[in-house]
């Protein structure tokens, strides 16, 4: 990796953490300069604007999550085990997030809802990827006879993602991981009984 690529990746990593913890609106160029140790010109050598940096920093954060999901699925062949691996990995993000500040999809979705349409679109794309992963696992499970034929994959994806993201919000709000633990326990039971 060249020095320029290393610098660009450092900016993305540091900006992703900053935006995930304090939000796009709550992070100034001075904050970005502070966390990266670079001057404004050094940042603008790699990104045309704060908006471009925000979009690419979100993509960086989403890719970090995607890679961890793919790693968690290695060696798991049964569909229900694969879904439980996704849920368990997500629950580990409460104490060991891939990007400091919690789930970047949740954080960015809330912030960008009305204020930043381009960022909101990026979150939708990342969420589509997560939903597609869950649907693919379920549909393969149906094809292999591991999941009942009448299971609606997208409905399960909605339930799993909504339950996990809501539990993360509650755990962060109260500073207590019990809410996420309860959600994970519930989802494991749900998968065992409904699939």
pLDDT digits (tens, 9 = 90+) for 138-153: 999 999 999 999 999 9
Q: How far apart are CA 7 and CA 32, in angstroms?
A: 13
In a domain, 33, yes or no: no
Q: How far apart are CA 139 and CA 153, in angstroms?
A: 7
- Region 155-182: what's the mean pLDDT? 93
In a domain, 48, yes or no: no
Per-residue pLDDT, 84: 95
Beta carbons within 10 angstroms of residue 123's beta carbon? 22
Per-residue pLDDT, 178: 93
Residue range of the domain that includes 107? 58-194
Number of domains in the chain: 1
Per-residue pLDDT, 30: 95
User: What one-character-per-residue DSSP string does 145-191 give?
Assistant: TSS-TT--HHHHHHHHHHHHHHHHHHHHHHT-THHHHHHHHHHHHHH
In a domain, 187, yes or no: yes
In a domain, 66, yes or no: yes
Taking the complete model, does pTM exceed 0.85, yes or no?
A: yes
Residue whose pair of structure tokens reads 């970090």 in the numeric block: 64
């Amino acid at each position: 990796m060249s020095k320029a690529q290393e610098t660009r990746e450092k900016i993305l990593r540091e900006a992703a953490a900053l935006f995930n913890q304090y939000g796009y609106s709550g992070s100034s160029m001075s904050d970005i300069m502070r966390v990266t140790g670079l001057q404004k010109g050094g940042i603008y050598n790699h990104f045309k604007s704060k908006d471009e940096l925000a979009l690419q920093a979100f993509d960086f954060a989403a890719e970090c999550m995607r890679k961890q999901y793919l790693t968690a699925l290695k060696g798991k062949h049964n569909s229900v085990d694969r879904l439980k691996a996704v849920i368990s990995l997500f629950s580990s993000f409460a104490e060991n997030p891939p990007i400091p500040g919690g789930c970047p999809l949740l954080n960015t979705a809330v912030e960008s809802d009305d204020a930043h349409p381009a960022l909101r679109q990026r979150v939708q794309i990342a969420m589509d990827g997560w939903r597609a992963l869950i649907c693919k696992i379920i549909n393969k499970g149906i094809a292999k006879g591991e999941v009942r034929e009448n299971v609606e994959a997208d409905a399960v994806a909605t339930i799993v993602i909504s339950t996990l993201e809501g539990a993360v919000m509650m755990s962060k709000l109260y500073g207590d991981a019990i809410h996420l633990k309860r959600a994970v326990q519930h989802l494991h039971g749900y998968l065992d009984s409904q699939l």
